[in-house]
Structure 1
Amino acid sequence: MADMERYYKELVEGKRKGTADRCLLVLLIGCSYIYALVMRLRAFAYSLGLLPVRRLDKPVIAVGNLVAGGTGKTPTVAWLARRFMAQGKLVAVLSRGYGGNLAGAIHMVSDGQNIHATPEEAGDEPLLLARSIPGLIVIVGADRHRAGLLAQERCNPDVFILDDGFQHMALHRDLNILLMDCERPLANGRTFPAGLMREPPSAMGRADLILLTRCKDNRQVSLPFMTDKPVCRASHELSGYVPLSGGPVVPSSDLSGKRGLAFAGIADPASFFDSLEKSGVHPVATLAFPDHSDYGEDEIAALCRLMTASRSEYLITTEKDAVKLHPHASRLGTVHVAPLELRFSDPGMIDARLDALFRR
C-alpha cells in the first residue's frame, strides 16, 4: 500500500519518466478533466438549489481544503473549538470520521463528558479532538446534517465546526474557511486522478476566508481565481512535548543530548520531522508510515526494531498517531507526543469574522 501511494505521488508529480508511466499519466489527465467537470456541475447544482442544502439552528463553520492531504485542518479545528469554549460556548465538531470503521453511521464520539468510541471506530482526528479538548462534543457520520441534529437533541451546542467540510455543500455553513498550504497551494494544479486536488481551483470562490498554512516567511503566494477574498497566513509550530500518558507541555530543550526516534503516519511525515528539528529536537532516526496507519503488530515491531538499532532512549510522534498507541505503551517504553500550535499573522482578521457570526 505504501509503495503504491509513493508511486502514485511520483507519477502525478512528473517524477516517473518511463514510457508506460507517461502513457498512464496521459490517461489520468484525461480522466481528471471529466472529474473536474463533474465537480463544477455539482457545485453549480447546489448554488442553484437543484440539490438540497439543509440548515442547523446554530452557526456552522466549515474548515476544509482543495488539495488532499495535510494542510493543518485538525489544528485549525482545535484552535477554533478552544477559542469558542474560552468564551463559554458549547462547541460541537461534526466529522466524516475518515479511517474509522463505523461505515458512515452517525455516532457520538464525545458528549463533552465521556468518550464513547475507539480510534478504530471513530478515526484518528475525531478521537484526537475529543481527548485533547475536554468538554468538546464530537460526532462522526457521513450525513453531517443528521449528526448536527443529534448534537442539538442531546447537547444543544452554540456553534458547529464542520471538520474537512469544504466539499460538504449539503449542509449550509455560515463561514467557509479554506486552508491552503503556503508552499504548494494547488499541488500540481490538477484534480483527481491526475493530481491531488479535490476540486478545480475555481472552487476557491466559495471561500469566505482563505487561510494559508505552514507559512515559513513573508514571501508572497500567487493564488488564481482570487478577487476580494480575505487571506490570513498561519504557521504550525511544535510547542514542546507531553508524555503519552498525558501531562503538562515540557520544553523541547529537555530532550537535548538524548537519542530519540521520531515517527509519524500522517499525510506529510517529512513536515513533522522538519518541525522537530526547528523546535530543537534532533532525532537520530525517523520512520514514516502511511497516513492513517492503524499501528498493528507490523508497525509496532518495526518501531521496536529501529529503536533498538538506533539505540534510542525515547520515541516522539504526532498527536494524531498517539491516539492509537495507548494499547502498546508497555512495549514501546518512553513515548512523547509533540502537539502543534497554530499561530496567525493577523489574528484580528479571524476574530472579527468569528465574532460576527453571533451578531446576526
Structure 2
Amino acid sequence: MKQLLPRAWLTRGWLACLLWPLAQVHGLLVRLRLLMYRSGLLPSERFRVPVIVVGNVVAGGAGKTPLVISLVRHLQAQGLAVGVLSRGYGRSGQGSLEVRPETPINESGDEPALIRRATDAPVFVARKRPEALRSLLAAYPASTVVVCDDGLQHYALQRDIEIAVFDDRGVGNGWLLPAGPLREPWPERQRQGLDLVLHTGQQPAFEGFTSSRQLADHAQTADGRQIALSALRGRPLVALAGIASPESFFGMLRTRGLTLAKTIPLPDHHDFEHEDLSAYTGQTVLCTEKDAVKLFAIPGLAGLELLAIPLVFSPEPAFFVALDALLRPKLSQLPSEHGHQTT
C-alpha cells in the first residue's frame, strides 16, 4: 500500500512538520549567536572564580534546581565557599539583588528563594548573569566557586563547567523550537563544550549520568515542624503542584501510600493567591517545596493544614567524581587569599 504521508509527518506529527522551516531558522540563529560570542564579536566576561552552569537543552523544567541544591551542598561539604546565580524567573525587577530570607518572593523568584533556604549559600539574581556575579563577588569576595542555575544559552557569562539536565522526555522529537522542544541542536551541542549530562528521570534516553529522586519521609509545616508521611495515610488529601510536571509529584505521593482526594495541576511558577486555597478550608493540602516558598507567605491560610513535601534528589556517585575531577584544576588556579588548598 502506498504511503500517503511523508515519514516525518508520521513520526513527528503534522504540526511539527509545518513548523519545521521556523525551526531551521532558529537553528541558524543559534549557531550564529554562538559563533559571534566565541569569535569575540559579542562580549563575554570571565571572572576570577570557577563558574559551573546547570541548564537545559530542552524547553521546560527538567530538574535543574534540585541538581543545583545538590551541587551546592556537595561543594560546601568540601569546605568551598559557594555562591549561586539565577535570573529569578517571574521576579518583578531585572537588576541585581541578593536573595535574603526576608526577600519577598515576587522580588526574588521562587527557585532562588528555595535554593537560598535549602543551602544557606549566597544567592544573587539579575537578568544579566555577569551583573549578578559582580554583585556576588563584591559582597562575598572569599567565594571560591559559583553555580549558575540555568543560563546554558547565556554566553555573556563564560563558564568553566557546563552541565545539561534531561528528564524522561529526552530530546523529544529531536527538532528545535518551535517544531520540537530543543533550544539548541542535539547532539551538536554536546560536542561544543558540554562537560556533563545528567538524567533526572527513570528512563534515560541516551548516555549520561543518572540520578534518583524520591519524597522525604516527612512533610513540613510553615513553622518548620515535621510530620511523618505515614501519619497522613488513610486521610483524604488535596495535592497541588505548580511545577513543570505536576503529575510526577502526585505519582510520588501515591507511591508513598497517600490517598489523594483531589489533585490540582498548575502551570510552572504559578503565582498563588488566597483564592487558590480558600475552597479547601478544613482540609490537608500537600505541595512541593518550590510551591511552599510562595504559599507559606500568603496570609490568612490558618483554616487549612498546608504541608510541603521535601524532595530527596541524589545524582549517582560517579557524577560527583567526574565533577570533582573537572573542578580540581580550576580551584588550583585560585589566588592564595581564597584560603583553599587542593589535595
Confirm or deny a common fold (TM above 0.5). Answer: yes
1:61 is displaced (CA, Å) by: 0.5
Look up the equivalent residue of 1:129 and give its one-letter code. I
Q: How far is 1:315 from its partner?
A: 0.9
Cα separation, 2, equivalents of 1:270 and 1:164: 23
Q: Counterpart of 1:264 in structure 2: which amino acid?
A: A
Residue 164 in structure 1 maps to residue 150 in structure 2: yes
Match of 2:310 among 324, 339, 354: 339
What are the residue-to-residue correspondences of 1:1-360 with 2, within 5 Å? 14=13, 22=14, 25-102=16-93, 104-110=94-100, 115=101, 117-134=103-120, 136-156=121-141, 157-181=143-167, 183-201=168-186, 202-205=188-191, 206-215=193-202, 221-222=205-206, 231-247=208-224, 250-301=227-278, 304=279, 307=280, 313-326=283-296, 327-328=298-299, 330-331=301-302, 333-345=304-316, 346=318, 347-360=320-333
C-alpha separation in 1, matches of 2:153 and 2:69: 20
Distance (whole Å) between structure 2 residues aligned to residue 236 and residue 174 of structure 1 = 27
Alpha-carbon shift at residue 13 of structure 1 (Å) = 7.3
Q: 1:49 to 1:117 in 2, by over 3 A?
A: same
- Structure 1: gaps (5+ residues): 1-11, 15-21, 224-230
Deviation at 1:255, TM superposition (A): 1.6
**Cα distance in 1 for residues equivalent to 2:135 and 2:244:** 31
The CA distance in 1 between the partners of 2:180 and 2:275, in whole Å, is 30
Question: Which residue identity lines up with residue 28 of structure 1 in the other structure?
Answer: L
Counterpart contact for 2:16–2:180, Cα < 8 Å: no
SS of aligned partner of 1:142:
coil
Q: 1:328 to 1:280 in 2, by over 3 A?
A: farther
- C-alpha distance after superposition, 1:131-179 (max 9, x if no partner): 2222x11111111111111111111222111110211111111111111
Whichever residue aligns with residue 338 of structure 1, its letter is: I
* RMSD (CA atoms): 2.3
Closer, same or farther: CA 314–355 of 1 in aligned 2, 3 Å: farther
How far does the alpha carbon of each residue in 1:195-219 deviate from its partner, in whole angstroms, 9 at most, with x for none?
Answer: 2221121222231111111235xxx
Q: 1:194 to 1:246 in 2, by over 3 A?
A: farther
Output one character per residue of 1:85-136: Cα deviation in whole Å (capped at 9) or x when no partner: 223322211101111111x2111113xxxx35211111110111122222x1
Identity %: 36
SS of structure 1 residue aligned to 2:163: strand
Gaps of 5+ in 2: 1-10, 334-343
Residue 338 of structure 1 deviates from its aligned partner by 1.2
SS of 2:189's equivalent in the other structure is: helix
SS in 1 for 2:210: strand
Normalising by structure 1, what TM-score?
0.81
Amino acid at match of 2:129: R
Letter of the structure 2 residue corresponding to residue 108 of structure 1: E
The aligned counterpart of 1:6 is none
Q: Work out the CA distance in 2 between the residues paired with 1:195 and 1:248.
A: 43
SS state of the match for residue 323, structure 1?
A: helix
Residues 1:133 and 1:147: Cα distance change in structure 2 (over 3 Å): same
Q: Retained in 2: the 8 A contact 1:241–1:336? A: no
For 1:213, the aligned partner's letter is T
Deviation at 1:26, TM superposition (A): 4.5
> Aligned with 2:222: secondary structure?
coil
